[in-house]
């Protein structure tokens, strides 16, 4: 394998890692320039034609909105797609996807802001990336979700904290009162503190993006502890987006701990998607340039 092809492969791998797998990213001067150029082309009708552009249908959204992301490639290549990443005001990745480009060079994505990952008020950044063999092109755009650094949960939701972040989990409870909850990245667990005046039960509708339990690609059972003792008499009703647990407890119980295998902000499904995008990009470039992963002897 020639030296310049080895460098090209290393550059592709490094780019995929920086764009998608890090849980937070700081905007580089190049990214800032791309955003400024993209904003200029949108507002002035473009004295400078950009290789790639991206925008949203509005500047401000609430937490029950659908964001319509649209963009355009100046010189699209058949079969090549656009990688998109959305980061919150703290730089945490809340959305990653690979977007299909049509024959005119246009691409579009609809994003729902009701996900538990979208908890912060402030400015969100959409970052799009395109190209490899012909050069890497990027663009950014921003939008705002009003609110402070945290949001408040409704009375029908359990407030679960993870550091300074707040996640709202739908729940119902008989026989006691929920006093609050905490998430732990080290133990991959949700701990619910309660005051149980009588025997009862609690039902928690836990988003998979907050806490999940997996064995490979399949759902696995959570480990449930009540005051440190393991329990197996709970019900688990899974859906595509949530795991609904109904857990009985006795009068006097103080703490329920639910232990899984992945927890925010690990983004298990998102990390897997980013890895898949990176692999697809490398295979496509390899086919066009003759890059090989194993040198020929």
- Taking the whole predicted model, whether its pTM rises above 0.75 is answered as no
Residues 16-71: tens digit of each pLDDT? 444 444 333 333 333 333 343 343 333 333 345 678 999 999 999 887 789 999 99
Tell me, yes or no, whether 250 and 227 share the same domain. Answer: yes
22 lies in the same domain as 66? yes
In a domain, 209, yes or no: yes
Q: Which phi and psi (to 5°) does residue 284 adopt?
A: -65, -45
Number of structural domains (the chain) is: 2
Q: Do residues 98 and 83 touch, judged by C-beta distance below 8 A? A: yes
Q: Is residue 297 part of a domain?
A: no
CATH number at residue 12: 2.60.40.1930
Same-domain check for residues 129 and 202? no
> Which residues constitute the domain of residue 34?
3-148+267-289
Phi and psi angles of residue 50, each rounded to the nearest 5 degrees, phi first: -90, 145
The Cα 85–Cα 19 span in angstroms is 8
Q: What is the pLDDT of residues 164-219, one digit of tens each?
A: 777 889 999 999 999 999 999 999 999 999 999 999 999 999 988 889 999 998 99
């Amino acid at each position: 394998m020639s030296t310049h092809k080895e460098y090209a492969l290393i550059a592709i791998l490094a780019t995929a890692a920086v764009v998608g797998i890090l849980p937070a990213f700081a905007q580089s001067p190049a990214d800032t320039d791309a955003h400024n150029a993209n904003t200029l082309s949108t507002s002035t009708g473009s004295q400078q034609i950009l290789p790639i552009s991206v925008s949203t249908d509005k500047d401000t959204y609430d937490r029950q909105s659908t964001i319509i992301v649209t963009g355009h490639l100046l010189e699209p290549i058949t079969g090549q797609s656009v990688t998109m990443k959305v980061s919150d005001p703290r730089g945490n990745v809340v959305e990653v996807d690979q977007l299909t480009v049509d024959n005119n060079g246009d691409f579009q994505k609809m994003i729902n802001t009701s996900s538990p990952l979208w908890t912060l008020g402030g400015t969100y950044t959409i970052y799009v990336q395109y190209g490899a063999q012909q050069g890497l092109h990027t663009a950014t755009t921003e939008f705002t979700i009003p609110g402070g650094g945290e949001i408040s949960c409704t009375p029908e939701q359990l407030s679960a904290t993870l550091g300074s972040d707040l996640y709202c989990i739908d729940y119902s409870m008989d026989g006691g009162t929920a006093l609050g909850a905490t998430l732990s990245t080290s133990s991959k667990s949700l701990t619910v503190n309660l005051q149980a005046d009588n025997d009862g039960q609690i039902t928690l509708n836990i988003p998979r993006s907050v806490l999940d339990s997996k064995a490979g690609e399949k759902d696995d059972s959570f480990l449930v502890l009540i005051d440190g003792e393991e329990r197996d008499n709970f019900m688990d009703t899974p859906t595509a987006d949530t795991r609904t647990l109904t857990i009985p407890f006795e009068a006097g119980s103080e703490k329920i701990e639910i232990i899984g295998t992945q927890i925010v902000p690990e983004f298990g499904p998102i990390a897997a998607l980013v890895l898949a995008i990176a692999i697809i990009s490398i295979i496509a470039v390899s086919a066009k340039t003759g890059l090989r992963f194993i040198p020929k002897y």
